[in-house]
Amino acid sequence: MRNTTIQTACFFCMLFFSINTFGQEPVDFVNPLIGTSNYGAAFPGPIAPRGMASISPFNVAGPQNRPLEKDSQWLSNPYVNENTFLTGFSQVNLSGVGCPDLGVLLLMPTTGAVETNHLKYGSTYSKEVAKTGYYSVDIDKYKIKGEFTASKRVGVSKFTFPKGKSNILLNLGLGLTNEEGAMLKVVSSTEIEGMRTVGSFCYNSPEDAYPVYFVAKFSKPANHFGVWKKTPKYEGTEAQWMGYNGKTRMMKNTIKTVVGDSIGTYFSYEFDKKETVEVKIGVSYVSIENARENLERETGGKSFDAVYKETYDEWNKELSKILVEGGSYQDKVIFYTALYHTLIHPNTLNDINGEYPQIKRTKIGRTTDTRYTVFSLWDTYRNMHPLTSLVYPKQQSDMIKSMLEMYDENGWLPKWELNSTETFTMVGDPASIVIVDACLRGIQDFDIYKAYHAMLKGADQFEENPLRPGLKEYLDKGYLSTNYPGPVSTTLEYNTSDYAISLLAKALGEKEDYKRFTKRSLSYRKLYDKDLKLLRPRTATDNWYEPFDPIAGANFQANVGFIEGNAWQYAFMVPHDIRGLIKLMGGDKPFSDQLQKVFDIKQFDMANEPDIAYPYLFNYVKGEEWKSQEMVHKLVREHFKNEPKGLPGNDDTGTMSAWLVYSMMGFYPISPGDPIYTLTTPMFDKITIQLDPRYYKKENIVIQREINSDGKIKEIQLNGKTLNSFFISHDDFVNGTTLKVIQE
Amino acid sequence: MRNTTIQTACFFCMLFFSINTFGQEPVDFVNPLIGTSNYGAAFPGPIAPRGMASISPFNVAGPQNRPLEKDSQWLSNPYVNENTFLTGFSQVNLSGVGCPDLGVLLLMPTTGAVETNHLKYGSTYSKEVAKTGYYSVDIDKYKIKGEFTASKRVGVSKFTFPKGKSNILLNLGLGLTNEEGAMLKVVSSTEIEGMRTVGSFCYNSPEDAYPVYFVAKFSKPANHFGVWKKTPKYEGTEAQWMGYNGKTRMMKNTIKTVVGDSIGTYFSYEFDKKETVEVKIGVSYVSIENARENLERETGGKSFDAVYKETYDEWNKELSKILVEGGSYQDKVIFYTALYHTLIHPNTLNDINGEYPQIKRTKIGRTTDTRYTVFSLWDTYRNMHPLTSLVYPKQQSDMIKSMLEMYDENGWLPKWELNSTETFTMVGDPASIVIVDACLRGIQDFDIYKAYHAMLKGADQFEENPLRPGLKEYLDKGYLSTNYPGPVSTTLEYNTSDYAISLLAKALGEKEDYKRFTKRSLSYRKLYDKDLKLLRPRTATDNWYEPFDPIAGANFQANVGFIEGNAWQYAFMVPHDIRGLIKLMGGDKPFSDQLQKVFDIKQFDMANEPDIAYPYLFNYVKGEEWKSQEMVHKLVREHFKNEPKGLPGNDDTGTMSAWLVYSMMGFYPISPGDPIYTLTTPMFDKITIQLDPRYYKKENIVIQREINSDGKIKEIQLNGKTLNSFFISHDDFVNGTTLKVIQE
């Protein structure tokens, strides 16, 4: 999704990367600094697989960090690798998104007198070390070393202070977005409880701003503690009475509850030698009590090192579901880091006792599995969820169950759900695709009929339908007119969803629905402009929209017709009907030429989803498959690197990373909803994907590459038998044993 | 204390007063509207004796209420009788104070669409009925009747709505002061919980702002509910992202915690006929849980009427400790209303489970008696506490225990304590006087030696002494110089405290201390200017302060020398040494002439404490006692009436009212600390004061007036024996049976 290209040089990359540990386990190949520049929007700090809590260094506040400063430009991440001014460590964070949210509960160690203004207490930093589940950094101004790890719902920080007066600040005012409002109470000299308002994602639906609750426990009792509150500035007669007007009030050693927009606490220590303090911060979206229970049950009695070890092991277990052999160290790093990035979102919403806030926060729900959240479905339906279905099917199943719970709670499947708020970001009705795709890949341990019913509601209900605005026109005309924003894009999204529904209808024997939705899925054809060989917006009177510039819309510029893209970037976004599109375009050659032109005229955008499958589309033209092989390889090399700017743009909650994981393994889910893959050259000699016996019959799939050249594929064999196309069904794939790709 | 005279006519008095119920019990004579104009600062709504919760109509916001509008001038009360624009009903309130605080948790019923801006939803009102423990009013705009009662920690509101859509708003943004910050959570369609920041009194010590927690329960489940939050206004780039910048966000049917400076909830109903809803709001200064427990244990399962009946009965029991016979209806009204006003503050701080926040809110304490708060001691030491010692000695005992707990918690006796914050308002060290006075009147069931130790600390410790600034100079010179604010006033206060300490030292056999403090108590004499026959400030070089205007300082104007007064209003404020002052002035005649002059030149201020005992001082001059009798009678008639402006100014947490109670009973505690009374003409035929057998031997005291003229006193008899002076010791008084005052 949203991304802006930036050319700022990465001054510090070499320095940081020389420190990375070289190990042998998959987990040791992860470099969390990848994607922390170039608007990748990843953060380098620790998180457990699909964790609720995470810790990120926060360096996007303060004029020192301009231009990549959170208030002076749109910035969706708490950390930017080239920034230099650190103002704390946020305890809840989003990874790889295009809008800011979370990035709050800022913990900051300082020394000397307590200073509560982050512009004054901030510092440069050095000696960053980022590993799976671990981050450390030296805070220059104070000569403090910070180390960080996390369990699923608890961030653990460890500060090594020099001798003298030291402080740990928990700033509840500063945060990534403009949302404000916090409450806190110092429970004792070792504990703080409270909440902070976060949301609303993209500044949409601001009434849905919601609380994150927390409990912080300190390993050493503070010698002094206190709360600060900055008072808003009053004017007029009444201001004369307030000596403290606009100033910060310091409240010492108090256990009273303090609320406000700009508040924080400090815990101060007097050390007569170098000392460490560990701070555990448990979070919850339900209550302070649950945050405390999360903290106690996940990390109670455990040292920093013990928590780190558990998270490290958990990551290694997850990442080891795919073992790669051969290939360079750097390739292993970008591969496992990408796999790591696909295991961050969707993440856990429920507390350890099973409780979670239901959609719209009208009730507290309870789950015995995992309630997932952060469904950036417009991004993730394309490849992230199919990958999860293959490698982590139980997680995918729980994600579908979470989506169906949302339907129960809210009456609608999610569109872009975040911590039980529906942000309604982006267009289309992607939940149906995700569910059908998983179902047809064999994940069926959920209420399929309920899911089908939910899909039909979203696809058919005209009145107050939050998922498909313009549905009536879409059904009347076959497309949305320029009366709606991004009408071509939205039409294509609806078509794709309708295709997925048609597949499920067919599987369920719902013949009428099958026919109906199959027909609906092809209506994009009415937007095909034969002269331009592009899809083009039409007005409400069915005329082509004029004046029409097919280039307009590149680099996320707003334009009539398309959302986050232009006519070139959407021309082939009919993954379910590429063969139909080939016919429309006049056959293989014109199709292939037009597809090639996208790249030639530099309209292919690796940093966004609409055209993400383009490199694979040459596989639809017999004899041109080598172009896909070349293009995918080229794009991998060009856009994915072991460096902070090593992602093409926003990771989009793992979508870019999932693209890389697939592309390096040599297959890609070319038509979301359809359980098929198209094939290309793997970038490792051998890839072993462990299959979950609860969902798959075979123990694993092995992909082998023969002849170590980068030449064209000569032959592909499944269990020794030659495949006669560059497509393979999911069933054949998971029930085969070995896929061998033989290069020339 | 603070007061500004206002001449605005009371347009509505006649209307309101015609509705008052005429009853026979003491409780039925109370008119809570007395003191709600002329800066009396009383509120007309319900409160239980010494209750923590109370309800006041809130009509001090909005331009409609100017000039008596809370932000356009200093206003210390939630209600002003002549104002017309009502914006809710506050659930915690102070009575008769000179600085604003509390006046928050504003409940407001409306009809139609939900409007959250108080300037828009406010209304005129009519048909006010104010009785002990009960208030009702019609809210014109909505045709809603509101009725209100309260138990000790719970306010109960009952709204009668017309058919249609109705709403009950709980506005946590609006409040009496500029302090902001609140948190709330709708627990269910019948319950809200939360907190609101209040303080700091007089805008002093703003870091001591503190939370009041609450739970609100509704008798009928809301059909819809929601929370609103007004967003602060941002500027600059970041503001562009916020479509809601500076606007109010409506959050429907949510159970999430919301915090902010300007937030509130609404509960909405759809009624198909006229309906009532009762709302119980339990409060606590400890926690939400305690607020809920207070609500449940005090009012759980009880109807509005049942709560009202209990509070009515409790008030009647308290007020019936003094029974008056004879006298007019109006005199009974002003008398019992005054007695009622002395039973509001100090009030209960502890929750029903005994918990309360300790001073400075570093810990939660627990009491098995009552922890009292709101100690406006500069006011109340003069007469309110002596009255409490006589009529409600158990309460006075618990108040002393509360003060000693504060000493334990804080290291110092209180000066002006408010809900466990020490506001340090006013001057002097009055706690000692209150404790000694009670002790010498026979209330001795507390740790007297601890109290003595605490007094000595306040009287003797130079370093960081928050009670007696300038102590060293006071001891060196005998007075404070003009280096300090209000040096004459402060010197007199220290003298008075030192006299009280000397009395206790004597009682305890501490001979050295007795001598030392006796001497200290007379040091004011160094400020006596023989020429002026007034007390006059001296500079640090011991010279008289020049230029000196004895009139400067009237009407609360700031001046060098005096706090809230001038040289005339302080000239006789040496209650413990009036005989010494007579000598200084050259004998009875010059003394009497000078005293008379205060009245003649209109420098006597009935509305403030320094000169409050002046009318009684003629009793020190043999043969002039009739002047006291006349003056007291005249002042009662002039300043105390059965109407909203029926108090001379701020009631000062019952001090003005206590003066009236004494003055109408015909005796007065002329020298605080000294267990003596001086006598004047009672204003009733018979007064029976019931004595508490836990503290006093006799069952009661009866005061009788003979011959119904307003003439001079001819003779006073105690148990039939003629008294030979107009003074009587507390012991003689409480051990006598009948005091008969025989007029000429």
Looking at beta carbons, which residues of chain A come within 8 Å of B181? 229, 258-260
Q: Which of B237, B254, B362 sits opposite A72 (nearest CB)?
A: B237
Phi, psi of A377 (to 5 degrees): -65, -30
Q: Which of B196, B257, B283, B363 has the highest number of chain A CBs within 10 A, making it the mutation to test binding with A?
A: B257
Q: With cut-offs at 50, 70 and 90, classify the pLDDT of residue A467.
A: very high
DSSP assignment of B582-594 equals HHHHTSHHHHHHH
Summarize pLDDT for A53-70 with one digit per residue, the tens: 999 999 999 999 999 999
Contact at CB, B256 and A72, closer than 8 angstroms: no
Looking at beta carbons, which residues of chain A come within 8 Å of B243? 203, 206
Q: With cut-offs at 50, 70 and 90, classify the pLDDT of residue B13.
A: very low
Contact at CB, B206 and A242, closer than 8 angstroms: yes
Q: Which of B317, B350, B379 is the endpoint of a domain?
A: B317
**Residue in chain A lying closest to B243 (CA):** A203
Closest-CA distance, A4 to chain B, in angstroms, reads 17
Q: Are A630 and A22 in contact (CB under 8 A)?
A: no
Mean pLDDT computed over A666-690: 97
Summarize pLDDT for A113-171 with one digit per residue, the tens: 999 999 999 999 999 999 999 999 999 999 999 999 999 999 999 999 999 999 999 99
What is the CA angle A72-A75-A76, rounded to 5? 155
Closest-CA distance, B182 to chain A, in angstroms, reads 6
Looking at beta carbons, which residues of chain B come within 8 Å of A242? 178, 203, 206
Closest-CA distance, B387 to chain A, in angstroms, reads 34
Q: Which of B206, B208, B255 sits opposite A362 (nearest CB)?
A: B255
A394 and A309 within one domain = no
What is the CA angle B64-B70-B75, rounded to 5? 125
Closest-CA distance, B88 to chain A, in angstroms, reads 21
Contact at CB, A181 and B259, closer than 8 angstroms: yes
Residue A3 is predicted with a pLDDT of: 42
Is residue B242 domain-resident? yes
Looking at beta carbons, which residues of chain B come within 8 Å of A362? 253-255
Contacts of B29 (CB under 8 A, 6+ apart): B23, B329, B332, B333, B335, B336, B337
A269 and A238 within one domain = yes
Contact at CB, B243 and A197, closer than 8 angstroms: no
Tell me the two tokens of residue A122: 């901030």
Contact at CB, A256 and B210, closer than 8 angstroms: yes
Summarize pLDDT for B478-494 with one digit per residue, the tens: 999 999 999 999 999 99
Residue B78 has pLDDT above 70, yes or no: yes
Who has greater pLDDT, B596 or B558?
B596
Q: Which of A203, A257, A360 sits opposite B241 (nearest CB)?
A: A203
Percent of chain B with pLDDT over 90: 91
A374 and A303 within one domain = no
Residue B16 has pLDDT above 60, yes or no: no
Q: Other CB atoms closer than 10 Å to residue B407's CB: what's the count?
A: 21
**Residue in chain A lying closest to B203 (CA):** A242
Residue A270 is predicted with a pLDDT of: 98
Q: Residue B476 burial (CB < 10 Å; 0-12/13-18/19+)?
A: exposed
Closest-CA distance, A651 to chain B, in angstroms, reads 22
A564 and A512 within one domain = yes
Alpha-carbon separation of residue A329 from A131, A589, A734 (angstroms): 16, 39, 28
Contact at CB, B181 and A236, closer than 8 angstroms: no
Strands A738-743 and A700-706: parallel
Residue A302 is predicted with a pLDDT of: 98
Q: Other CB atoms closer than 10 Å to residue A323's CB: what's the count?
A: 15
Residue B708 is predicted with a pLDDT of: 63
Residue A243 is predicted with a pLDDT of: 86
Is residue A5 domain-resident? no
Contact at CB, B258 and A211, closer than 8 angstroms: yes
Contact at CB, A254 and B362, closer than 8 angstroms: yes
Is residue B7 domain-resident? no
Q: Which of B206, B238, B250 sits opposite A71 (nearest CB)?
A: B238
Give the number of domains in chain B.
Answer: 2
Q: With cut-offs at 50, 70 and 90, classify the pLDDT of residue A231.
A: confident
Q: Are A178 and B242 in contact (CB under 8 A)?
A: yes
Mean pLDDT computed over B333-354: 98
Cα separation, A296 vs B171, in Å, equals 36
Mean pLDDT computed over A562-567: 94
B695 and B622 within one domain = yes
Cα separation, A291 vs A312, in Å, equals 22
Contact at CB, B234 and A210, closer than 8 angstroms: no
Q: Which of B73, B237, B252 sits opposite A237 (nearest CB)?
A: B73
Looking at beta carbons, which residues of chain A come within 8 Å of B72? 236-238
Summarize pLDDT for A93-119 with one digit per residue, the tens: 999 999 999 999 999 999 999 999 999
Is residue B2 domain-resident? no
A263 and A412 within one domain = no
Mean pLDDT computed over B376-399: 98
Q: With cut-offs at 50, 70 and 90, classify the pLDDT of residue B6.
A: very low
B410 and B383 within one domain = yes
Residue B66 has pLDDT above 60, yes or no: yes
Q: With cut-offs at 50, 70 and 90, classify the pLDDT of residue A708.
A: low
Q: With cut-offs at 50, 70 and 90, classify the pLDDT of residue A23.
A: low
In 3D, which of A521, A525, A484, A491 has the Cα closest to residue A503? A521
Residue with tokens 């406010």: B122
Q: Which of A279, A301, A317 is the endpoint of a domain?
A: A317
Is residue B1 domain-resident? no
Tell me the two tokens of residue A79: 């950390």
Contact at CB, A178 and B241, closer than 8 angstroms: yes
Here the ipTM equals 0.91
B328 and B234 within one domain = no
Q: Which of A204, A259, A425 has the highest number of chain B CBs within 10 A, making it the mutation to test binding with B?
A: A259
- Least confident window among A581-585, A612-616, B17-21, B131-135: B17-21
Residue B90 is predicted with a pLDDT of: 98
Contact at CB, A362 and B209, closer than 8 angstroms: no
Mean pLDDT computed over A225-231: 95
Q: Which of B283, B317, B351 is the endpoint of a domain?
A: B317
Cα separation, A607 vs A518, in Å, equals 30
Is residue A684 domain-resident? yes
Looking at beta carbons, which residues of chain A come within 8 Å of B209? 229, 249
Q: With cut-offs at 50, 70 and 90, classify the pLDDT of residue A24.
A: confident
What CATH number does residue B378 fall under?
3.30.2080.10
Q: Are B271 and B168 in contact (CB under 8 A)?
A: no
A479 and A401 within one domain = yes
Contact at CB, B197 and A260, closer than 8 angstroms: yes
Q: Which of A244, A253, A259 sits opposite B181 (nearest CB)?
A: A259
Closest-CA distance, B232 to chain A, in angstroms, reads 9
Mean pLDDT score across all residues of chain B: 95
Is residue A376 domain-resident? yes
Contact at CB, A242 and B363, closer than 8 angstroms: no
Mean pLDDT score across all residues of chain A: 95
Contacts of B636 (CB under 8 A, 6+ apart): B660, B663, B664, B683
Residue A5 is predicted with a pLDDT of: 38
Contact at CB, B195 and A238, closer than 8 angstroms: no
Residue B424 is predicted with a pLDDT of: 85
Contact at CB, A232 and B229, closer than 8 angstroms: no
Contact at CB, B181 and A258, closer than 8 angstroms: yes
Mean pLDDT computed over A288-299: 98
Closest-CA distance, B183 to chain A, in angstroms, reads 7
Contact at CB, B261 and A260, closer than 8 angstroms: yes
Residue B553 is predicted with a pLDDT of: 86
B126 and B226 within one domain = yes
What CATH number does residue B146 fall under?
2.70.98.10
Closest-CA distance, B124 to chain A, in angstroms, reads 25
Phi, psi of B216 (to 5 degrees): -115, 130
Q: Which of B74, B207, B253 sits opposite A362 (nearest CB)?
A: B253
Is residue B6 domain-resident? no
B285 and B330 within one domain = no
Summarize pLDDT for B602-614 with one digit per residue, the tens: 999 999 999 999 9
Residue B231 is predicted with a pLDDT of: 87
B669: domain range? 320-466+477-743
Looking at beta carbons, which residues of chain B come within 8 Å of A73? 237
Percent of chain A with pLDDT over 70: 97
A262 and A328 within one domain = no
**Residue in chain A lying closest to B229 (CA):** A207
